[in-house]
Amino acid sequence: MIYLIVSDIHSNQPALDQVLATEKADEVLFLGDIIGYGASPEYCYQKFRDLGGKGVMGNHEYGAVRPDTLVHFSENAMLGVLHSMKVLSKENLDHMQRLPETLKIGDLLLCHTMLGHPLEFPYVFPQDKDSLYLKESFQRMAKEEIQVIFTGHTHKPCIFKQLPDGSIETYKTAQGELFLDEQRYVINAGSVGQPRNGSPLAHYVLYDTKLRKVTFRSVSYDVDLAAKKIREAGLPDFLADRLYRGI
């Protein structure tokens, strides 16, 4: 089985379409934040459902179905969620309410952030290998027989690996292959629609369950079109401009 694993699409239709046109996979798994920031939440959410609807709640979906949580958002993020709430069909907003916090598939788990606090959405950046949230995730993985968590939220692809002595190593990467050994991993797939690792490409991963191989990939897409749609939707220029810089 080959999974295409995508995170933080953020209503970026051109980026999502480019990733789906580039990769052949048996199934597509979504790590949350399908909506928010960009211009096309309805298109992206409907595509998620049409592709099987296997995915988890991100903080932007949670903001749309629980608007009381928007007080924790930046102004640009809040404007993006309000745009999503206006554009999304009632059917897709209803569907969004039922998104799970986590989704276990065999010995892998999908979670927008860290296990144990999924709806608090803590940020664990690539440099945060000493994060208590991260350590707790690894402890829970041992108890719940999970070998790998795929996560997003920071928009920065990376690998956290727990070594036999319990310590954690970090690897920043946006390209290349990783063959999983018997250790546990938390793998951040980066962002399809609003990368923040300095690369204005759509980032994602593939996971081959037979070879136990994770492949980090990125692909260029029509940033001009995505930015144009954001401006036409009346969203802040900053949200369009940042796509060119990947920040």
Judged by the rule CB under 5 A, the positions of this chain that interact with Fe ion are: 8, 33
In angstroms, what is the minimal distance from the CB of 164 to Fe ion?
Answer: 33
Instruction: For residue 101, give both structure tokens.
Output: 């916090």
The smaller minimum CB distance to Fe ion, of residues 18 and 154, is found at 154
Q: Are 219 and 19 in contact (CB under 8 A)?
A: yes
- Angle of helix 90-97 versus helix 41-50 axis, rounded to 10: 60
In angstroms, what is the minimal distance from the CB of 26 to Fe ion?
Answer: 25
In angstroms, what is the minimal distance from the CB of 190 to Fe ion?
Answer: 11
In angstroms, what is the minimal distance from the CB of 122 to Fe ion?
Answer: 13
Rounded to whole angstroms, how far apart are CA atoms 45 and 13?
A: 10
The smaller minimum CB distance to Fe ion, of residues 8 and 17, is found at 8
Rounded to whole angstroms, how far apart are CA atoms 97 and 48?
A: 15
Q: Are 136 and 114 in contact (CB under 8 A)?
A: yes
The smaller minimum CB distance to Fe ion, of residues 33 and 61, is found at 33
The smaller minimum CB distance to Fe ion, of residues 180 and 227, is found at 227
In angstroms, what is the minimal distance from the CB of 142 to Fe ion?
Answer: 28
Rounded to whole angstroms, how far apart are CA atoms 186 and 235?
A: 33
Which residue number has the CB closest to Fe ion? 33
Q: Are 172 and 158 in contact (CB under 8 A)?
A: yes
The smaller minimum CB distance to Fe ion, of residues 8 and 61, is found at 8
